[in-house]
Amino acid sequence: MERMESEATAGEKKRGGDGGATAAIMTAEWMVAIPEDLAHQWYVMSRPAGQRCLVCTGGAITVVHSRGRKPRRFPSALPGGSRAGRSPGRCVLDCIWNETQQTYFVLDALVWKDYSLVDCPTEFRFFWLRSKLAEGRAADSSSTNPCRFVAPPVDECSAAVLRQVYAGEAGYDRDGLLFYHRESLYEAGPNPLVLLWSDSTCSKRFYNYGSTQMAEALEAEPSKAEKWRTAEVEAAHTFKDIVEQLAPAMDTGDGVLAGHAAGGSCVACAAPLPDGSTLSDAQMDAPMMT
């Protein structure tokens, strides 16, 4: 498969970075408090592991901006992304780059074919993004689309769906769970309506509260103490805590935007997963922090 070539303009070389483009990216806050309406107003997805970036098209070229790195340019099947494409206009997509799979996992869309989506609710953005990526066959690699563009499966949050997303295979390396409020708009910077949670089951990158691993990380980078809120031990919710918040709500099974088949009983935290296995008490109760 053809790989992308790195290229930067003279101005970008002088700045030695993305020129501030990635400041437009919306970031998740750590799940300090479990939303009371989690079962009715939120979506959940497995967050792909990789490099967060902003993918922009226009003028028959695709440019990727990553924090601290020089922009990359290459053709793509996105509107305005290559000379071979028949769709004019420009796109701006919030993505995670997976080097191994040569894939951009598209978390969200800011602009599609000159149509701004930032003031549209999450529910609409997610539906629009998945529909348009499928129409343009952006997930198919070719000489004019050397890197794939794939939207990770996203589901309405329920106890059964959450267990499946948490313990199931996503088809890519995971780095926690992302929760999006269905009415949230796309806003640059931290957004309290986009939440992140993870532990060792759904991420290879985690820290136990009070562990030697966390202490060493804090010694190397003391500034992380505020970000991780290490003084707020009660903020370290377990997976069991989250499922219990969902258990009283009616479990609706599959989400309308789906990508996962939720199975099994949904009320008891120890209910069987679709493959017949169950989550251990240690997995359910261990408080973690990324």
End-to-end CA distance of the chain: 33
pTM confidence score: 0.76
Query: In the numeric block, which tokens belong to residue 173?
Result: 């390396």
Measure the CA dihedral 205/229/192/52, to 10°.
-30
Q: What is residue 206's predicted lDDT score, i.e. its pLDDT?
A: 65
| CA–CA separation, 286 and 198 (whole Å) | 11
Q: What is residue 267's predicted lDDT score, i.e. its pLDDT?
A: 24
Q: CA-CA distances (angstroms) from residue 150 to 19, 25, 97, 158, 237?
A: 26, 18, 10, 24, 30
| CA–CA separation, 104 and 152 (whole Å) | 10
| CA–CA separation, 58 and 198 (whole Å) | 36
Q: What angle do CA 99, 167, 246 make, to 5 degrees?
A: 120
> Cβ(197)–Cβ(176) under 8 Å?
yes
Nearest CA to 153 out of 42, 259, 48 is that of: 259
pLDDT in tens, 70-87: 999 999 999 999 988 667
Nearest CA to 131 out of 146, 147, 145, 117 is that of: 117
The DSSP call for residue 264 is: S
The DSSP call for residue 38 is: H
- Interacting residues of 72 by C-beta distance below 8 A, sequence separation 6+: 4, 5, 6, 7, 63, 64, 66
Mean pLDDT of successive 10-residue segments in the chain (290 residues)? 34 50 92 92 96 95 92 95 82 96 97 96 97 94 95 95 91 94 96 91 70 78 73 69 82 45 30 38 42
Structural domains of the chain, ranges and CATH numbers in brackets: 29-48+153-289 (no CATH), 49-150 (3.30.470.30)
The DSSP call for residue 97 is: E
The residue ranges of DSSP E strands in the chain, in sequence order, are 5-6, 26-30, 42-48, 51-58, 61-66, 72-74, 92-98, 103-112, 115-116, 148-150, 155-156, 174-181, 189-197, 207-208, 288-289
Parallel, antiparallel, or unpaired: how do β-strands 51-58 and 92-98 relate?
antiparallel
Sole residue written with tokens 């609409």: 124
| CA–CA separation, 140 and 148 (whole Å) | 6
Q: What is residue 222's predicted lDDT score, i.e. its pLDDT?
A: 85
| CA–CA separation, 175 and 189 (whole Å) | 19
- Alpha carbon 29 to chain centroid, angstroms: 12
- Could you count the other beta carbons within 10 Å of the beta carbon of residue 197? 27
pLDDT in tens, 191-211: 999 999 988 788 877 655 666
| CA–CA separation, 166 and 27 (whole Å) | 21
Q: What is residue 279's predicted lDDT score, i.e. its pLDDT?
A: 41
Q: What is residue 232's predicted lDDT score, i.e. its pLDDT?
A: 57
